[in-house]
Amino acid sequence: MPFAETSLRDDYAAAVERVAGRTLDALRGGGGAAALVDPDTAVPRPLLAAVRLLGADLLSPQLLTGAGPDGPAAALLAEARRALPAPAPPSREAALVIGWQDWAAGQVLARTPYGEAVPPPAPLPGPDELGWQAWSVRMAQLSVLALPGLDGPVHDTARARVLALARGTVRSMMRRDLTTAARLARWLGWAAAEGRPLPLDVGPVLDRIRLAGDGSARTGLELAVARLLLDRSRPSTAERNQAP
């Protein structure tokens, strides 16, 4: 009897896409990630893993759009963090990256009834130690930290080294690594929202990645966050019209 079977890896990849897609919907004003879960049954393991991977971004709609609290999403993130240990890091550098991603998830959960603040991990080396190339790749891995309300030493370096972030973005674009480019463009959007002048026009970068990128919901989520951050850097038309 013929039967279709997907590999475990495919199941996890599909779950990440589903969760990212739902979060993207929420960013655009639709339902949240909680809609993924049937409250009467246990959450499937791939879904929990996907939630753990996306981490703080699960609550990005609340942080970026002023959407109301999403209790079920926060509960889901808290459950994922409880049920699944942080992935085993292959190196000391990777451990730091995972530590900071986890810190971000803890910080956003601390604003909900489902968690409390976690202490920051050890600081990361900056572009002077790593070179702007390696540092920007590291920052791309930490794009989930580029959210309003999160602040710390990683953000301080990002604020101070906008040109290095922009160089990393352009380098990734030219190397056709549009996933890394999207994540660094998100940091640039964050820097703009912080009032930092940008050496690079980020709008065309986002548009290029939207058209030429992998088209995944996960990249779409990075782009949507970047766009919303960028929009914060300039007053909306309505605000301008209200100005005396």
Partner 1 sequence: MTDTHVLSVAQQVGSRAMTWLHAAHRDGLGRIPDNTVVDLATPNDAYKPLGEIALVASVVLRDGVAGPAGTRAARELLDYAWEEVREGDLLYERQLRHVTMSDPLELYGHFARAGYRHPALEELLESISRLRAAHATEIQANRRLAVANARRLVGLSHQPDWDALAARTWLGATPEPWAVEWEIAYQITHTVFHLTDWGAHPDGLPEPMRDHVRDWLPVWLDVWLEIGQWDLALELLIVDACIGEPATGRQGWDALAAVQHDDGLVPREANEAVSSDRDESFREHQHTAVVAVLAGDVTLARALGTGAAAA
Nearest distance, CB of residue 176 and partner 1, angstroms: 10
| Residues binding partner 1 (CB under 8 A) | 132-133, 163, 166-167, 169-171, 173-175, 199-201, 204-205, 208
226/154 Cα distance (integer angstroms): 17
Burial of 84 (0-12, 13-18, 19+ CB in 10 A): middle
112/76 Cα distance (integer angstroms): 12
Q: What is the DSSP string of 121-150?
A: -PPPP-HHHHHHHHHHHHHHHTGGG-STT-
Q: Which of 88, 209, 76, 74 is nearest to 143 (CA)?
A: 209
- Pick the closer one to partner 1 by CB: 122 or 163: 163
157/155 Cα distance (integer angstroms): 5
92/129 Cα distance (integer angstroms): 15
- Pick the closer one to partner 1 by CB: 144 or 184: 184
- Pick the closer one to partner 1 by CB: 111 or 196: 196
- Pick the closer one to partner 1 by CB: 181 or 193: 181
- Pick the closer one to partner 1 by CB: 201 or 214: 201
Nearest distance, CB of residue 226 and partner 1, angstroms: 15
